[in-house]
A = this chain, B = another copy of it.
Amino acid sequence: MKIGYIGLGLMGAPIVRNMLKAGFTVVVHNRSRAIVDQLASEGATVANSAREVAAQVDVVFTNLPDSPDVEQVVLGKDGIIEGAHPGLIYVDNSTIKPETARHIAAELRKVSVGALDAAVSGGQVGAINGQLVIMVGGEQADFDSVTPIFKAIGKSWVLVGSAGAGQIAKACNQIMVGAQMAAMGELMVLAAKGGVDPFKVVEAIKGGAAQCWTLDNKPERLRQGNRAPGFKAYMQLKDLNIVLDTAAAYGVELPLSEAAQSLFEAMVAAGDGELDNAAVLSVLEARAGVHVGP
């Protein structure tokens, strides 16, 4: 099975490395050239456009920042749709609006191309270790066809429903992640203002009903004064915006997610959007006049 991969950022590049490691032929394309040359030196084949990638592979992936980027690369000039051929399957690892994923799937169906929205969770570490969690929307037959590829890059892959369902699952994922990050910030700032060591509090509570990925993985970095990403705060905000746009479209009220969105908005407005999403506590620290960590 010949794979194409378009979008070689923090996530895309390590995903391609795991595909190469598993023995797949991978044709890559990316706007900026440095990472393309790097992956070529590691065994990838290079193409000059999304169209060229699509024309020569069985399965073509994208991993791009936002909905308009994906729409352009798939449906725009020199896009995947121009390289479409019967039997081609399109897989999107980006996090975008469910409605965009559904629109793209519908357009590709017209030219006999299958589409899976296959959003991922697990961050750069998960991408590097081939331990991503993959949330998929689309048809069962397409899902079954690409399962050998998911095995090379992930630790779990679930077909959640039809087109768009993978992006809805990713939005759901980001509701929980955003809530955990904001709640960790709130509890650490409350502890610090209450004269109690926030890291002792985490040690005390992380084995009980408060247990979560965020408390397991983030406090140690904060204790060391390390607020570098990880997963960038402005991307968390972008994802929470997708959550709330989608919720508005469906007529769902999400007051907790709105509160998390406001915190990330304040963080990005303060110029901290390039920091880790766990650093959202900085907004609460500034308001309370306290600092967590060294």
Contact = CB atoms under 8 A, between A and B. Distances in A.
Contact of A179 (B155, B180, B193): B180
Interface in A227-283: 231, 243, 246-247, 250-260, 262-263
A212 interface: yes
B190 A160 contact: no
Given A168-B190, A204-B135, A209 B287 contact: no
B209 A187 contact: no
A121 B172 contact: no
A205 B135 contact: yes
A203 interface: yes
Considering residues A161, A179, A231, A246, which has the most beta carbons from chain B within 10 angstroms of its beta carbon?
A179
A4 interface: no
A135 B132 CA distance: 34
Contacts of A197: 160-161
B193 A250 contact: yes
Nearest to A254: B186
Chain A interface residue count: which class?
Answer: 35 or more
A1 interface: no
Most buried by B among A164, A184, A256, A284: A256
A262 B1 CA distance: 52
Contacts of A165: 194-196, 200
B172 A176 contact: no
B173 A210 contact: yes
Nearest to A280: B256
A156 to B, nearest CB: 5
- Please give me the 10 A-B residue pairs with the lowest Cβ-Cβ distance, nearest first: A133-B208, A121-B208, A212-B212, A179-B183, A172-B187, A158-B204, A176-B210, A193-B250, A259-B259, A173-B205
Given A176-B215, A193-B252, 20 more contacts: A134-B204, A136-B204, A158-B200, A161-B195, A161-B196, A168-B194, A169-B196, A172-B210, A173-B187, A173-B205, A176-B210, A176-B212, A183-B256, A190-B246, A190-B252, A212-B212, A252-B288, A253-B284, A255-B259, A255-B263
16 contacts: A132-B208, A133-B205, A135-B204, A160-B201, A168-B196, A169-B201, A173-B210, A175-B190, A176-B183, A176-B215, A179-B256, A180-B210, A186-B252, A208-B213, A253-B284, A255-B262
